[in-house]
Amino acid sequence: MKRRKIILVVLFLTVIHTHSLFSQQPVWSETKEQKTQRMEWWRHDRFGMFIHWGIYAMPARHEWVQLYEKIPAAEYRKYFDRFNPDLYNPEEWAAKAKKAGMKYVVLTTKHHDGFCLWDSKYTDYKVTNTPYGEDLIKPFVEAFRAEGIRVGFYYSLIDWHHPHFAFDRNHPPVPTGSEEREKENAKRDMNIYRQYMKDQLRELLTQFGQIDELFMDFSYPGEGGKGHQDWDSEGLARLARELQPQIIINNRMDLGHTDWGWDFITPEQFMPQEWPTVDGERVPWETCQTFSGSWGYYRDQYTWKSTHQLIVMLIETVSKGGNLLLNVGPTARGVFDDRANERLDGIGQWMRFHDRSIYGCTQAPDEYTAPQNCLMTYNPETHRLYIHVLEWPFKSLHLPGMKDKIEYAQLLNDASEIKFHSRTQTGSHTVETSRENDVILTLPVERPNTDVPVIELFLK
């Protein structure tokens, strides 16, 4: 009798153990090669547009205004009640993105304030209940796809509107003192919120066709914060992969401990010094950057980057093997403001003649050293090296160690030949000689009339 009991217990434990082994297995597994393949278009395209849009465009002083100014939900409601972007025309946006050379777009479907840009079944806090009264996302995806631009979605994990999102240090207005916060949170059930996110993600990934990037934002684990367990990030990532197997997911769900819950890392508001690594290995990265500091439309912000700075930012990102997602915050009328348009036009002007040094390019192999005041990108397919000359020198550009490596050189903007030599013997006082193994490019004295001139080197 006793032995039977023991056998039963052992059997029971084995079943439990096997079950937990299975449930821990990721539903998503792929080889490194498969992952590289899946991210192929993304690595090639390099340049995308981020769009932060919602009712925070009305206060026009940062998308975090509700938290920064501790605005109670009832008061924030005034924006919801008046949101009416009557000039919204996503075709115009898509045309601007295309002209700027952007190949994909990522739109905020819901930001931290919880406001939804589509007709979600799971909330009333959505555009269809504002004076505008219509879904913004379907026309958006159609317009961008019509221009050949891939579509990605941003979805905020944080939600200041949902009644079951537990108060934490990133919540407006935060109940003061942890005791009070806990009392309030006792009435909130994160299970309900977790389910809400899954339901909404399912809507987003089933109602709008192929979605190529998913930008979940963001985790802040630890004291007074939230991490992957609070969101059930595993569940969200699994759902996304199941519904859209080709999707590329960012790294803000706190799933760094898995090899399947994230595809790329997302430094923002600074330029990494070098190609970022995780556990010593270079990883895919996409930096998202703003024109002026805030993501949502901010009328009175006067820290706008110049077109030149933005072009250099794009080049520098690619020169370190990364992607740039450059953000526009449309106004509450539904248009890009003049400052954004001016920069997008300027970038487009440059891209028209130089996109060959961006698309399909990456960091140059270590054997090539960038000349002074230059940034280098490299296309491994065509085996061409691109020298971006930030400061135009007088006549000679010295390329260290490039002797016998160059077949042909030209300016990219007009495909005009650039002559080069590696003379080391002294000629006369007007003949310049190069250091051993260096190459001297003979540049025109006049700087080409473009923001950042590029020299294309056809390598041997």
Placement of tokens 């153990």 in the chain: 17
Nearer to ligand GLC, 122 or 218 (CB): 218
Binding track, positions 337-366, relative to ligand GLC; x by CB under 6 A: ------------------------------
Longest Cα–Cα distance in the chain: 108
217, 232, 234, 316: residue in contact with ligand GLC (rule CB under 6 A): 217
- The DSSP code for 160 is S
DSSP letters of 357-390?
A: GTTT-BPPPTT--PPTTEEEEEETTTTEEEEEES
Instruction: Please state the closest distance from residue 52 (CB atom) to ligand GLC, in A.
Output: 6
Describe the chain by its helix, strand, coil percentages, rounded to 5: 30, 20, 50
Q: Does 332 bind ligand GLC (CB under 6 A)?
A: no
Instruction: Please state the closest distance from residue 453 (CB atom) to ligand GLC, in A.
Output: 32
Contact set for ligand GLC, span 265-304 (CB under 6 A): 268, 288, 295
Rounded Cα distance between 387 and 375, Å, is: 6
Instruction: Please state the closest distance from residue 174 (CB atom) to ligand GLC, in A.
Output: 16
Instruction: Please state the closest distance from residue 63 (CB atom) to ligand GLC, in A.
Output: 5
Rounded Cα distance between 25 and 238, Å, is: 11
Total of residues contacting ligand GLC (CB under 6 A)? 8
Long-range contacts of 74-79 (CB under 8 A, 24+ apart): 76/113, 79/55
Nearer to ligand GLC, 63 or 232 (CB): 63
- For 35, phi then psi, to 5°, come to -65, -45
Binding track, positions 169-208, relative to ligand GLC; x by CB under 6 A: ----------------------------------------
Contact set for ligand GLC, span 38-77 (CB under 6 A): 52, 63-64
Nearer to ligand GLC, 203 or 217 (CB): 217
- In degrees, rounded to 5, the angle at the alpha carbon of residue 275 between the alpha carbons of residues 269 and 276 is 70
Nearer to ligand GLC, 310 or 375 (CB): 310
Rounded Cα distance between 308 and 347, Å, is: 8
Instruction: Please state the closest distance from residue 5 (CB atom) to ligand GLC, in A.
Output: 55
Burial readout 414-429 (b: 16 or more C-beta within 10 A, e: otherwise): eeeebebebeeeeeee
Nearer to ligand GLC, 63 or 456 (CB): 63
218, 220, 260, 392: residue in contact with ligand GLC (rule CB under 6 A): 218
Which residues sit at the interface with ligand GLC, rule CB under 6 A? 52, 63-64, 217-218, 268, 288, 295
